[in-house]
Amino acid sequence: MKNLAAILSLLLMITFHHSFANVDVKLDSANVFYSKGEYEKAIREYENIINANMVSSEIYYNLANSYYKSNKLTKAIINYERALKLNPSDDDIKYNLELANTYITDKIEIMPTFFLTSWINSFYNLYSTDTWAIISMISFVIFLVLLAIFFLTRMLFLKKISFYFSLFIILISIISFWSSYKQKQFIVAQNTAIITNPSITAKSSPDDSGNDLFQLHEGTKTYLEEKVGNWQKFRLTDGNVGWLREKDIEII
């Protein structure tokens, strides 16, 4: 049994190593295609990497740039949004997304948000979920060290310093953990989408007989609220609400 377990472990290690090696080769190949201006080939390589469940903000960003260079703005916007989900503090992603959005037809006004909500969201977006998790773990380890000093030392001033500083550090650990959790929720949530149809008419109800409300065009971002059959209820940043078919959008 021990020999069998060792053989299986070795096979798994070889398989994982082979998979990562293949991804590295594809990534290098995609980057070379991009540098040569062969954007369609780069797109295929980046898409193959993503289809193999090897995703990162960098890969989505490079894929978005390839689509942008190929004048496929809607696909570029979708992948910039996905990259930003994974790395919300990246200024390059933000800039390129804003640039791509200047070319879409619909210019939707953004309703002001309550300042406290805006501040909290900005705080969550300071770092990625992995970075927040690392901060939480490191601060928790420091907390344990300080706690050990508090219990082991006989020096009164050192006890006071370690006690109060440990409270401060554990607070940082808790806040960082919560921020990582909220970021993870944001990443896995499927409540935003980009319109992929050149032109659609928003309906007042989830059926073709609903009243026509307003027109939207590809590249516009929507916030999904409810699903009925193959219809999605959505909200725009200006507060307008309507229904559209699932086939007309791609979830971010």
Q: Are residues 24 and 65 in the same domain?
A: yes
Q: What is the rounded distance in angstroms from the CA atom of residue 143 to the CA atom of residue 225?
A: 41
Q: Are residues 156 and 207 in the same domain?
A: no
Residue 114: inside a domain, yes or no?
Answer: no
Domain closes at, from 188, 217, 235: 188
Q: Are residues 212 and 228 in the same domain?
A: yes
Q: Are residues 91 and 129 in the same domain?
A: no
Q: Are residues 174 and 149 in the same domain?
A: yes
Q: What CATH number does residue 244 fall under?
A: 2.30.30.40
Residue 88: inside a domain, yes or no?
Answer: yes
Residue 175: inside a domain, yes or no?
Answer: yes
Q: What CATH number does residue 85 fall under?
A: 1.25.40.10
Q: Are residues 181 and 197 in the same domain?
A: no
Backbone phi, psi, residue 72, to 5°: -105, 80
Residue 47: inside a domain, yes or no?
Answer: yes
Q: Are residues 78 and 133 in the same domain?
A: no
Domain closes at, from 159, 188, 217: 188
Q: Are residues 160 and 77 in the same domain?
A: no
Residue 112: inside a domain, yes or no?
Answer: no
Q: Are residues 131 and 159 in the same domain?
A: yes
Q: Are residues 40 and 93 in the same domain?
A: yes
Q: What is the rounded distance in angstroms from the CA atom of residue 124 to the CA atom of residue 100?
A: 25
> CA 115, 180, 57 angle in degrees (round to 5)?
95
Is-contact 20 50, C-beta < 8 A? no
**Per-residue tens of pLDDT for the chain, all 252 residues:** 445 444 544 444 444 444 444 566 678 888 899 999 999 999 999 999 999 888 899 999 999 999 999 999 999 999 999 999 999 889 999 999 999 999 999 988 877 777 787 888 888 888 888 899 999 999 999 999 999 999 998 888 999 999 999 999 999 999 999 999 998 888 888 899 999 999 999 999 999 889 999 999 999 999 999 999 999 999 999 999 999 999 999 999
Residue 179: inside a domain, yes or no?
Answer: yes
Q: Are residues 57 and 139 in the same domain?
A: no
Number of domains in the chain: 3
Structural tokens at position 165: 């500083």
Domain closes at, from 101, 133, 167: 101
Q: Is 240 exposed, middle or buried (0-12, 13-18, 19+ CB in 10 A)?
A: middle
Q: Are residues 168 and 217 in the same domain?
A: no
Distances (CA, A) of 192 to 61, 102, 107, 234, 250: 18, 19, 17, 9, 9
Range of the domain at 81: 2-101
Has this prediction a pTM greater than 0.85?
A: no
Residue 113: inside a domain, yes or no?
Answer: no
Q: What is the rounded distance in angstroms from the CA atom of residue 208 to the CA atom of residue 172?
A: 52
pLDDT score at 112: 74
Residue 95: inside a domain, yes or no?
Answer: yes
Q: Which helix (H) or strand (E) holds 112?
A: none
